[in-house]
Amino acid sequence: MNKQIVAISMGDEESPLVRNEVYGWIQQNGFAIVDEDAGLFSDGNGSSFVCSCFEKTQYILFKEGDGELPECVFDWVMNLKDDKTVISLGDEDESRYDIVRTDSEFTLKRFRKLWNEPYEGDDE
């Protein structure tokens, strides 16, 4: 089963990445930390995800646990400031053991533009 991943390389104009601040923000959005070492969060209703913060390299990764990534993850991304921040979307397949495939990569500016465009899916 594939787990969707959103990985972010923070641009120079972003505030420094501080794990405790990110974890606190996630908790304010209805998720409790289940395993602090693993960065595992749960809403208590069967939805969970992992948040890994790499403060020294200014890199953060969100990965699905049970259920899809919650809206608060994308709210966090949309509140970033530096248009040069890089947003990578990909997946991890347990059958590929420790291999993450990047499907797409965007600057924050391009990601916002695409995110806010109306979805033109099939009407069937």
Domain regions of the chain by residue span: 2-116
β partners of residue 50: 40, 63
pTM of the model: 0.87
Q: What sections of 4-103 are H helices per DSSP?
A: 19-28, 71-78
**Predicted local distance difference test score (pLDDT) of residue 117:** 77
**Predicted local distance difference test score (pLDDT) of residue 56:** 96
Quote the mean pLDDT of the chain. Answer: 89
Distance CA 66, CA 32 (A): 14
Closest by CA position to 89, among listed 56, 59, 111, 109: 111
